[in-house]
Amino acid sequence: MMGVMTYRVCVVCMGNICRSPMAEVVLRKTLEDRGLGDRVTVESAGTGGWHAGDPMDERALRILAQHGYDGSVHRARQFTRDWFDRYDLVLAMDRDNVATLRRLTSEEVEVELFRSFDPAAPEGAEVPDPYYGGLEGFEEVLALVEAAAEGVAKHIADEIG
């Protein structure tokens, strides 16, 4: 595929151990299923660095595995200012993360809410943080992420032609 550029996506939440890595895994699979896996890379990061190097939350891993996804290789990372140049699309899980990302740079950057790509979601809809709850919160996150992933994949397909 000489000459074909890779489209790069980063999904961002707070600590990069629950929501964003779940979205990364789901979006990657969705893109692969659409035949775009070789043209798009999907990564994730957190706005905070306190979990850097840690694996995905065990509850997130468990829910993903129950639904046929594998998140076992994930290691948390922190999004930094210079990363904006690395990505074509930055997707945040909630408005707080959008605001934090925009504060990282003086430049006008485009950061979208992940759920804005779900046509059934209300405007401004967020993916809630399941960290302080039980497994049901992780199930909810997976359902919300899966619902939006198709819209994200369609957006990317339109962008890359």
Residue 94 buriedness (CB in 10 A; 0-12 / 13-18 / 19+)? buried
Residue 103: CB partners within 8 Å, gap ≥ 6?
Answer: none
How is residue 122 annotated by DSSP? P
Q: Token digits for 109?
A: 């950057």
Catalytically active residues, by annotation: 13, 19, 129
Displacement of CA 141 from its chain's centroid (Å): 11
How is residue 131 annotated by DSSP? T
Q: Is 148 helix (H, G, I), strand (E, B) or coil?
A: helix
Whether 7 contacts 40, CB under 8 Å: yes
